[in-house]
A and B are shown apart, each in its own frame.
Chain A
Amino acid sequence: MKRWLPLLVFLILAGFLAKGLFLNPREVPSPLIGKAAPAFSLPVVGNAEAAFTPESMRGQVWLLNVWAPWCVACRQEHAFLMQLARSGAPPIVGLNWKDKSREADALLARTGNPYRAVPDDLDGRVGIDYGVTGTPETYLIDRDGIVRLKHVGPIDESAWNKKFEPKLKEIGT
């Protein structure tokens, strides 16, 4: 019977390879899920006196959207975020990531601002704390400040319905 072993091993391997075609080797799951959202205090774009901390969002479910004015995919996502902001979805906080040329303020004035607040992460340190590797990335954080979901890439209708809605239902909004 051991003469069938090579074929068997190969078929199992082929099964894994087939599954692999549907996976993305670059998409990394976040180790923060189920843990407290890292604390920080950053000045806010447009108002250097004020500071934003995640603490201030305790008691509500909210979204942390990591974006940048130089990020092309963020522009694509922007329209959908405006829609979300108008529709009564959880409030969105836009973390301005590594905006060296200081364009966030002007850009938001021009295209519209879907964000409750825009903390300014100039050197990217807060991004590192959140495990950010690029933009846009969005975190769903619950009332107790626990990270429940991370989405890499722009959010569109289908991503919202497939990933965010079920999670929101689970948390209870």
Chain B
Amino acid sequence: MKNWLLAILLAWALPALALDTLTPAPPAGPAAREAPPTAADPEIEQRLVKLATDLRCLVCQNESLAGSHSELAEDLRREIRDQMRQGKDDNEVIAYLTERYGDFVLYRPPFKPVTWLLWLGPLLFLGIGLAIWYVVLRRRRAAAPDTVDASALAAAARILEEKSDK
């Protein structure tokens, strides 16, 4: 029991060691200046990054709109920022982009009849797999546990005793 308690305490202590502060410590040194965030509006920027991570950079070979350095990606991020500043919500921004670029720009495929198989496929695979598991087990269930010969059991017990005496 003691060992288990130790294990729990250790496991719980560890994450805390890394995440000692999620709030910043007070600044030291009067001469230093706090660096301003790169983005003019950090809140919108956070929304932008979160949304753009799930959008595709259209001129890259499979990169997200958030990470790409290409010019078109910069332009599109600028557009999205403008839209967000105008108060549009995430769905409206997505609609804006898909009207112009189609569903290709979304890394999260929309749920429509043509993608039903995509989204429901995994569930289907699991379902089929579980059905097969069930069927196989039905067939293979041991009829009855093997009845053990009493003398064989005694012989086995003797062997075990001999071994433990060594």
Contacts and interface: CB of A to CB of B under 8 A. Distances in A.
Q: Are chains A and B touching directly in their complex (CB below 8 angstroms)?
A: yes
Contacts, number: 33
B123 to A, nearest CB: 19
Given A133-B59, A134-B59, A28 B102 contact: yes
A31 B72 contact: no
B99 A133 contact: no
Given A98-B71, A124-B75, A130 B59 contact: no
Q: Which of A98, A123, A124 has the most chain B CB within a 10 Å cutoff? A: A124
Contacts of A98: 71
B58 interface: yes
Contacts of B98: 31
B17 to A, nearest CB: 46
B33 interface: no
A133 B72 contact: yes
A31 B102 contact: yes
Interface residues of A, number: 16
A31 B58 contact: no
A115 B59 CA distance: 27
A36 to B, nearest CB: 12
Nearest to A134: B59
Contacts of A124: 72, 75
Given A98-B71, A124-B75, A31 B100 contact: yes
A137 to B, nearest CB: 12
Contact of A28 (B58, B71, B76, B99): B58
Interface of B: 58-59, 61, 71-72, 75-76, 79, 98-102, 104
Interface of A: 26, 28-32, 98, 123-125, 128-131, 133-134
6 contacts: A28-B104, A31-B102, A124-B72, A128-B79, A131-B102, A133-B59
